A and B are shown apart, each in its own frame.
Chain A
């Protein structure tokens, strides 16, 4: 590269560095202040903590019932995402392989439904399923996530399955394999890249969802975003504890992301571009 092209490059780098600093700054603030007592925060929120104290974390964990909320979040996310993978891959296989008018119309309805905002469903949903919700609110929430998420997930699988030649399942059917065997033994393993996309897109959405859990869940079944919000509302003047709570709320997903960074980016790209 010539010299003339390296000067703009330096400028781009400088702009990028400043911007990335601005993007992480809020997290840095949370991190720095999570270890400080209240008065140090009010004095200077930018300063490095004078001594590392875990007191705030202890209090925050206790007050927001961290491990219970974390467990609830994990249970709800894992069950919903697994069910979405199973149901939507099977539905997509059925819709892509049976070339009837019925399956075409069904697919169109699924695609069209993706524009319906959650807000247009929440009020009737709460009244229709009021009994279900009071009986088992976690199950009701998972039930909702499956129904609401099935359209996009099926759509993602459908696009991929349509590109897999039919000969493959036909040959297996000739050998006397049942429909289910063909699907689980031959088709499903080939769908792995889409399964990764479906898992990541849905896991992020469900993990971070707030509106529906707020309507449905009770204190015992609170998820992490919900308990963080309630905790912050109650203890926002205990700045140190509030920051420790926020750090705890943010940590699981950031760790998860750093481990699976490549899959995240490619999953989000295919999930969005489709």
Chain B
């Protein structure tokens, strides 16, 4: 192939998507990083300010409470979603006649956007549960869970688990059914119990499914926005704002573009580091089995 046809081939097949990719992803990413070191106000910048935006971000007490709240959310949702999703996968793969139905039911919340789900649950917590509890005298839901920071956190976890466990279940189902039948047959012949087969054979052999699912739940946890906005709206008093919503508020509600973007860069670094650590640890576990 000569140079001319190489260039032509690039122009035909790759030029347009690469140009759009650069315009949407590469350039804004680089530009955004650069602007955090200036006095950018959303429209223009006049001078470099060094790390002033970062210092300012870290001096913001709301940002610290957001970071703490986000980390708590990431850890708890990661554990809860994966435990539930794995349980659902075990139920669906138990060779029941109803397993297709069950799979559909567990999966459906995942199809619907977080905003609509959040709003549905807002109705449940603020209206439905309250009227049900006063009717049947249940003290647990007498006041809306969304009015208090601690219960609002658990409301966020419940909705997140409900929303994403069906998706992770699909990944675990794929993992469970790729375990080869003759290995399971051998275990059965050797008299291994169902629990032992699961722990000693199935789970190590499907380690890849855990890597993927943990990675996705970790990333989703850091990036959660829709459910947060629609369910708690950050309230009461900005105590349930996750980092994504905090950045949005900082930049677009309060007009702090400099610190908003700095916090976005910090968020990117956290996601990248957490994901790299998680994937390399999981990969090592996959090999060591």
Q: Which residues of A contact B (CB under 8 A)?
A: 8-9, 12-13, 15-17, 19-20, 23-24, 26-27, 29-30, 33, 41-46, 87-88, 90-91, 93-95, 98, 106, 109-110, 113, 115-125, 127-128, 143-144, 146-148, 150-151, 154, 179-180, 183, 204, 207-211, 215, 225-226, 228-229, 232, 236, 239, 242-243, 246, 249-250, 253-254, 257, 261, 265, 268-269, 272-273
Interface check B237, CB cutoff 8 A: no
Interface check B285, CB cutoff 8 A: no
Please determine whether B114 and A208 come into contact, CB atoms closer than 8 angstroms: yes
B101 partner residues in chain A, CB cutoff 8 A: 20
Please determine whether B43 and A19 come into contact, CB atoms closer than 8 angstroms: no
Interface check B25, CB cutoff 8 A: yes
Q: Which of A33, A41, A143 contacts B24, CB < 8 Å?
A: A143
Known pairs A93-B13, A119-B247. 20 more at Cβ < 8 A? A13-B96, A19-B88, A30-B120, A33-B128, A41-B127, A42-B127, A45-B127, A90-B17, A94-B13, A117-B271, A121-B24, A123-B247, A123-B260, A128-B27, A150-B21, A210-B225, A211-B244, A229-B230, A246-B119, A268-B167
Known contacts A119-B244, A204-B111: A23-B106 contact under CB 8 Å: yes
Q: Which of B31, B212, B260 contacts A128, CB < 8 Å?
A: B31
- Which residue of the partner chain A has the closest CB to B244? A119
Interface residues on chain B, number (Cβ under 8 Å): 92
Q: Measured between C-beta atoms, what is the minimum distance from A177 to chain B in Å? A: 14
- Total contacts A to B, CB within 8 angstroms? 252
Q: Which of A24, A110, A253, A268 contacts B105, CB < 8 Å?
A: A24
Q: Which residues of B contact A (CB under 8 A)?
A: 6, 9-10, 12-14, 16-18, 20-29, 31-32, 35, 42-43, 88, 90-92, 94, 96, 98, 101-109, 111-117, 119-124, 127-128, 131-132, 135, 162, 166-167, 170-171, 174, 194, 208-209, 212, 216, 219, 222-223, 225-226, 229-230, 243-244, 247-248, 251-252, 257, 260-261, 264-265, 267-268, 271-272, 275
Please determine whether B24 and A144 come into contact, CB atoms closer than 8 angstroms: yes
Interface SS majority for chain B? helix
Please determine whether B275 and A143 come into contact, CB atoms closer than 8 angstroms: no
Query: In the assembly, what is the distance between CA of A207 and CA of B116, in Å?
Result: 12
Please determine whether B32 and A26 come into contact, CB atoms closer than 8 angstroms: no
Query: In the assembly, what is the distance between CA of A141 and CA of B260, in Å?
Result: 22
Query: In the assembly, what is the distance between CA of A207 and CA of B92, in Å?
Result: 28
B272 partner residues in chain A, CB cutoff 8 A: 115
Known contacts A12-B96, A273-B174: A94-B105 contact under CB 8 Å: no
B127 partner residues in chain A, CB cutoff 8 A: 41-42, 45, 239
Interface SS majority for chain A? helix
Query: In the assembly, what is the distance between CA of A273 and CA of B105, in Å?
Result: 22
A236 partner residues in chain B, CB cutoff 8 A: 122-123
In the A-B complex, the 9 residue pairs with the closest CB atoms: A147-B24, A208-B113, A94-B13, A124-B32, A20-B105, A87-B17, A124-B28, A45-B128, A120-B268
B108 partner residues in chain A, CB cutoff 8 A: 23-24, 27, 254, 257
Please determine whether A210 and B20 come into contact, CB atoms closer than 8 angstroms: no
Please determine whether A121 and B111 come into contact, CB atoms closer than 8 angstroms: no
Please determine whether B124 and A127 come into contact, CB atoms closer than 8 angstroms: no
Please determine whether B102 and A16 come into contact, CB atoms closer than 8 angstroms: yes
Query: In the assembly, what is the distance between CA of A147 and CA of B20, in Å?
Result: 5
A27 partner residues in chain B, CB cutoff 8 A: 108, 120
Please determine whether A20 and B28 come into contact, CB atoms closer than 8 angstroms: no
Q: Measured between C-beta atoms, what is the minimum distance from A188 to chain B in Å? A: 12
Please determine whether A225 and B116 come into contact, CB atoms closer than 8 angstroms: yes
Please determine whether A120 and B264 come into contact, CB atoms closer than 8 angstroms: yes
Query: In the assembly, what is the distance between CA of A69 and CA of B104, in Å?
Result: 27
Q: Measured between C-beta atoms, what is the minimum distance from B222 to chain A in Å? A: 7
Known contacts A12-B91, A87-B17, A210-B114: A117-B123 contact under CB 8 Å: no
22 CB < 8 A contacts A-B: A16-B94, A20-B106, A26-B120, A27-B108, A27-B120, A29-B124, A88-B17, A94-B9, A94-B13, A106-B18, A115-B272, A116-B25, A119-B225, A123-B257, A125-B24, A128-B28, A143-B23, A204-B111, A208-B226, A225-B113, A228-B116, A273-B171
Q: Measured between C-beta atoms, what is the minimum distance from B126 to chain A in Å? A: 8
Query: In the assembly, what is the distance between CA of A269 and CA of B6, in Å?
Result: 36
A150 partner residues in chain B, CB cutoff 8 A: 17, 20-21
Known contacts A20-B101, A150-B17, A154-B17: A254-B9 contact under CB 8 Å: no
Query: In the assembly, what is the distance between CA of A239 and CA of B6, in Å?
Result: 62
Query: In the assembly, what is the distance between CA of A90 and CA of B229, in Å?
Result: 38
- Which residue of the partner chain A has the closest CB to B194? A8
Query: In the assembly, what is the distance between CA of A180 and CA of B13, in Å?
Result: 9
B20 partner residues in chain A, CB cutoff 8 A: 87, 143, 146-147, 150
